[in-house]
Amino acid sequence: MILWTLQPFSWWTILKENGKITADLAKIESDPNAFYEDRYNYAYGWLVEEMKQRLPVPRPYPSAYPIWAWYQWNGVKRKAPDLRTVRHCEDVQQNVRIKFEIDDKLVLLSDYVSWHYILYDALITRPDEESDEDDEDLDSELPSYTEEEKRKSWNHVFELDFSYPLEEAIIQATFWELKLEQVKEVKEFGKNKMLRP
């Protein structure tokens, strides 16, 4: 499958030098420019365990962390992340979009919208299952659920059409390792030029 990952330029340099790259939790925690928040540890830990169970390749080493990529950034018509969007324009300093091809079996795909429920330690429900009580009853208690029910609901994140129809879905990908030989194209943020793999 074809995926796109957005990474710092230094990450691309390491990939070229070593021929492969992995993500390491210790390095992420110590990098002041990395997106990392302690409050998400349980969500990422849960995802690591799911990858260990669902992928046919083992976790490369105990502190290996998922590498993130996009399978479908904005539906089937906009699979690749658009570097002109506001979100990406904020990060134009020394970042790259790497397009690569990887064996489907080495990737765990998930629904981007549902993933945010896991980040906030919440029950995942379908929009049509959510409460439709009147707004005037704002003081009523929220429905309760057990920890087991919540954790079971998290499996919805792997239903790629859970939040939107598949042709409109936002689908992310995680995997353990990227090899230089898998790279098809590298584009620098803020510049209309391709870099050589």
Q: What is the chain's pLDDT, residue by residue, as a tens digit (197 residues)?
A: 999 999 988 899 999 999 999 998 877 666 655 555 667 888 999 999 999 999 999 999 999 999 999 999 998 998 998 877 645 445 456 789 999 999 999 999 999 999 999 999 999 987 666 544 444 454 455 568 899 999 999 999 999 999 999 999 999 999 999 999 999 999 988 765 666 66
What does the alpha-carbon distance between residue 62 and residue 136 come to, in Å, rounded to a whole number? 51
What does the alpha-carbon distance between residue 106 and residue 116 come to, in Å, rounded to a whole number? 23
pTM: 0.84
What does the alpha-carbon distance between residue 42 and residue 118 come to, in Å, rounded to a whole number? 9
Residue 4 DSSP label: E
Write out the residue range of the structural domain in which residue 29 sits: 2-195
Structure tokens at 133: 């009580």
Number of domains in the chain: 1
Q: Which H or E element spans position 88?
A: helix 86-89
* 137-153 CB burial, b ≥16 within 10 A, e <16: eeeeeeeeeeeeeeeeb
